[in-house]
Structure 1
């Protein structure tokens, strides 16, 4: 689904990143497949948020973010 990103959040813990999607106003966890994958998705989400761009987000059945396209 295409959506804006309202907020992003990450901690120093490995593979812990979250985003609030404008489409539903809920927090969604970036699915931890690999540390680099979580970082790369977080970078895309941050770039979209900083520039007011929409991203295409793919969610799994548990509403975790599995893919993001800018």
Structure 2
């Protein structure tokens, strides 16, 4: 069954390491579910004026500058 956008499990598993590189045997799984589709980004292609000229892909994401709590969302 195909799931509509915004209803996928994006869980991850984390392995912790000590400062000296030793790996902890237990892993930690963080169950996360994406319940909304991401905002649709906008884009534009620009050309620099210098020599040689370069093409630049400019991507904008709605609300990319907003913060959630203590950090970026």
TM over 0.5: no
TM-score normalised by the shorter chain: which range applies?
under 0.3
| Structure 2 length-normalised TM | 0.24
| Structure 1 length-normalised TM | 0.24
For CA contacts below 8 A with separation 6 or more, give which structure has more relative contact order: 1
More helix by percentage? 1
More strand by percentage? 2
